[in-house]
Structure 1
Amino acid sequence: MAHKFTDENFEEEVLKSQVPVMVDFYADWCGPCKMMAPVVEELATDYEGTIKVGKLNVDEAPGISSKYRVMSIPTLLFIKDGQVVDTVIGAVPKSQLTDKIEKLK
């Protein structure tokens, strides 16, 4: 199951993570985000223990969304050692995300 990232746990769970992290910036009202939700959950299961996969609701964490200049959702950030190393914007096939994750490991 995908982690739930918040203002309170973002630094600890994402920036200080010992493993690479994929963060899905989403909103409940966003159609493309709803399309990506099952894909994000599948990736969380597929890569459990290898990378951390989680979701951040932009309406609940506007400060983090602003800090990372998230202008469109869904936006997926790939973070390693506290730094953004890749970004995907919009609804994309699972294979595209898998390719990005494989490069992270």
Structure 2
Amino acid sequence: MSHVLELNESEFESQVRQDSGLVLVDFYAPWCGPCRMLAPFLEKLAQEFAGRVRFVKINVDEAPSLAASYEITGVPTLILFKGGLIIDQVVGLPSPRALQERLRELAPPAPAGVTGA
């Protein structure tokens, strides 16, 4: 079972913009090599940050107007939302360590005795 939820344009508003917590959105394309390289790492992070950060992905080929509204010019593009507002963005393949550290800075602490699922 994937820990990264695939959304379409109609689900984006309720699942991302109206979420009060942290949501990492991966704007990707299935033909994109770096996107395919990033996917397993995002799954790992989604497990590590389960319950603290939501991970979702948007296929830009299937959601062109959403991609245009966020000015997605390259894939992968990762956008981090908090309370429905953009707080960080990375275009291209990010450093896994840097991404993990950034999430550790921003995510609420895990409940005592709980580690990634």
Question: So what's the TM-score if we normalise by structure 1?
Answer: 0.94
Secondary structure in structure 2 of the residue aligned to 1:9: helix
Larger Rg: 2
User: Distance in 2 between the 1:87 and 1:64 partners?
Assistant: 16
Question: Could you tell me which residue of structure 2 aligns to residue 45 of structure 1?
Answer: 47
- 1:56 corresponds to 2:58: yes
Fraction of identical pairs, as percent: 37
User: Distance in 2 between the 1:95 and 1:6 partners?
Assistant: 29
Displaced runs of 4+ in structure 1, greater than 3 A? none
| Unaligned stretches of 5+ residues in structure 2 | 108-117
Shift of 1:91: 1.1
Letter in 1 for 2:62: E
Query: What's the C-alpha RMSD, in Å, of the aligned pairs?
Result: 1.0
Alignment of 1:4-19 (within 5 A): 4-19=6-21
Shift of 1:60: 0.7
Alignment of 1:18-97 (within 5 A): 18-97=20-99
Question: So what's the TM-score if we normalise by structure 2?
Answer: 0.85
Preserved CA contact (<8 Å) 1:44 1:54: no
The number of residue pairs the alignment matches comes to 105
Letter in 2 for 1:41: E
Q: For structure 1, which segment, 87-96 or 55-64, has the greater mean C-alpha deviation from structure 2 after superposition? A: 87-96
Shift of 1:102: 2.3
Shift of 1:2: 0.4
